[in-house]
Structures are given as C-alpha cells and as structure tokens.
Amino acid sequence: MEAWQTTRTPKSRIIYMIIDNLIIDNELFTSYFACDLNKCHGICCVEGESGAPLEKEEIIWLEKNIEKYYDFLDAGGKKAIDKTGVYELDIQSDIVTPLKDSGECAYAIVENNCTICIFEKLFKEGLIEFYKPISCHLYPIRVYKLIGFYHLTLNRWHTCTGAFDLGKKQKIPVLFFVKDALKRRFPNQVDKILEHVKVF
C-alpha cells in the first residue's frame, strides 16, 4: 500500500506517505544529507541527553559478544559498562547505550581528533559482524513505534548543520545516504521508499 496523506493543524500543513506499515514524513523525500566529519568531528556521539536507542536484538548481541569489543573501549567506556552493563534506561525508560561520566556514548572512542563508533571501526577491520546500532546507522532519520506502524521523521539537530549543507552541495538525498541502514531495518520496503525520492 502506498498513499500520500495530508494532515492539517492550525499553523502547519504536513504531508506524509504511507508505505505498507511505514508513515514517512514528506521532508525525507526532499532533503539532502552527508556527514561532514571535517566539521563536526563526530559530535553526535558526544552531545545529547541520553545514549542511542537500542533494539532488543542488539542488546543480546552486545551481551553475548562483549569480549570482542570491550578491550578496544577507552577507560571511560569500560567504566560505564562495568557500572551499568551494555545498556541503560534513560529518563523516559527507553533502552539506550550507556554514557561515560563525561557525557559521550560509552562505545565512542577518539581517533585522529574525531569521535568514532567502536563497532563501526571493528566491523570495517573485519573483527566483528555488528556494524553499529541501527538508530545510529539511520541518523538523521528517527523511527518512532506506533500501534501497527513505524513513523519515520527527519531530525534536524544543530550539530549536523554542516551535514545538511554538504549533502545539498553534493546532491545526496538523505534517503540515499541512509540506504544501507534502511536495508537493515526495512528490507521489504526500501526499494519502494527510494523510488519516491524527489531531489536530484
């Protein structure tokens, strides 16, 4: 099922598309994005009030395979995991990655003056099969679980202003930027989603 829907509020007009069990904000079909690490230096792993959302399957992997990544964490990351485990609950009782005392994600390390994800690093080196939490892989898309549906929205965080600018300059649609993540999370709908991208 595919259909455009319009929701009107007193101050706005929001158009979204329904593809199977996905509600996708129109903004996602018309926006550009490309991470610009030269500008942000991986600040998304540092700033924020809580860690990255985790799926239950990801928690199982983190707990079963801790010996594959623990020794590669920095001291702050190890301390956080020793204290809370491989995940923690935020103020809304959502399951998220633990935070170091300094505030950044426990699974973040610094290399060449840039904060990076330990899982992505080890995956690219062929040492683990887990790329990174799907919530991080999908960013700047946020996924909200509803009854019978998933709502996909675009998160315009101030730390990623440079990424929106670079994406527009290089003409990289945000949905194409997260194509691999969409394949992981919504393998049956990804082709249907991408055929509606309107920016080039």
| pLDDT tens profile 151-191 | 999 998 888 888 999 999 999 999 999 999 999 999 999 99
Calculate mean pLDDT across residues 54-75: 97
Residues 94 and 129 in one domain: yes
Segment 132-159 shows an average pLDDT of: 92
49 and 120 together in one domain? yes
Domain termination residue (choose one: 96, 124, 139): 139
Q: 139, 161, 184 — which closes off a domain? A: 139
61 and 116 belong to one structural domain: yes
User: What are the DSSP E strand ranges found in 44-140?
Assistant: 88-89, 95-96, 108-111, 114-117
Domain with 14, as residue range(s), is 1-33+140-200
Q: Same domain for 118 and 181? A: no
User: Could you tell me the pLDDT band of residue 9, with boundaries at 50, 70 and 90?
Assistant: very low
| Pair 147, 200 in one domain | yes
Q: Are residues 67 and 102 in the same domain?
A: yes
Calculated CA dihedral for residues 66, 67, 68, 74, nearest 10 degrees: 80
Residues 53 and 121 in one domain: yes
Identify the pLDDT of residue 37: 81
CA 105 remoteness from chain centre:
13
Report yes or no: 5 and 15 within 8 Å, Cβ to Cβ: yes
Based on the domain organization, do 26 and 44 belong to the same domain? no
Cα-Cα end-to-end distance for the chain = 25
How far apart, in whole angstroms, are the C-alpha atoms of residue 148 and residue 150? 7
Residues 6+ apart with CB under 8 A from 113: 41
176 and 88 in a common domain = no
